[in-house]
Amino acid sequence: MGLRINDTIPDLTVETDQGSISLHDFVGDSWAILFSHPKDFTPVCTTEFGAVAQLADEWAKRGTKVIGVSVDGVEDHKKWKADIEKVAGAKAGFPIIADTGLEVSKAFDMLPAEAYLPDGRTPADSATVRSVFIIGPDKQLKLSMTYPMTVGRNFAEVLRALDGLQMSIGKGVATPANWNVGEDVIIPPSVSNEDAKVKFGEFKTVLPYLRTTAAPK
């Protein structure tokens, strides 16, 4: 059975370019994002890691730690970071897991249990290691998204999704399509009109089951 929304992530101890890390200790009381890559020194992934590096202040603003994972080794990760920082024009201060044994890739259901890395492998051998996982302070998986190797991930959407999660989980509301910070949110159907009035003040009834209100502060 693969990892599903609201499952607790496995507490693996992993090797990174910054030393050994326990995933649960790494998350701690913060939000965390784990983003995965099928191989070091690949063009799309290099631009993606660069985008993550450029967003360091945005992650910090949201109380969120980021950690990468690639199926190459620690020494390759250290060398790759020089390329990442050259592309990004920013320091890549986050750790990168060396998942050479595929333990993380399998535990997070990105590869089947029988997967292995053949000699002379190419990125195609681990092509499905292309997911983003957003993890809450409770160590539970809150959101995942997977991209093919040919499509660079949209980290503005990762930030938007993180904002939506922090709003919905922290404030007891939901967010509509294309929601951004500062826009109206949705009152869950489980909240009665009377309770909604007390909790949120004014709200708009679009449909009996769709009510919107200003985002809570």
Task: Tell me the per-residue pLDDT of 171-209, one tens digit each, with 9 for 90 and over.
Answer: 999 999 999 999 999 999 999 999 999 999 999 999 999
For the stretch 10-58, pLDDT in tens is 999 999 999 999 999 999 999 999 999 999 999 999 999 999 999 999 9
45 part of the active site:
yes
Nearest residue to 40 (alpha-carbon basis) of 155, 145, 143, 123? 123
Q: Of 23-27, 74-78, 115-119, 143-147, which gets the smallest average pLDDT?
A: 115-119
- Total residue count of the chain as it appears in this document: 217
The answer to whether 15 touches 94, Cβ cutoff 8 Å, is no
Confidence of residue 126 (pLDDT cuts 50, 70, 90): confident
Tell me which of 9, 45, 53, 173 is the catalytic residue.
Answer: 45
Position 122 pLDDT exceeds 90: no
Strands 96-98 and 64-70: what pairing? parallel
Confidence of residue 5 (pLDDT cuts 50, 70, 90): very high
Helices 74-88 and 43-54: crossing angle in degrees, nearest 10, is 70
Confidence of residue 112 (pLDDT cuts 50, 70, 90): low
165 alpha carbon, distance to own chain's centre: 11
78 alpha carbon, distance to own chain's centre: 22
Helix, strand, or coil (residue 37)? strand
CA gap 131, 36 in Å, rounded = 5
Write down the pTM of the prediction.
0.92
Q: What residue has token string 């360091």?
A: 56
Confidence of residue 120 (pLDDT cuts 50, 70, 90): confident
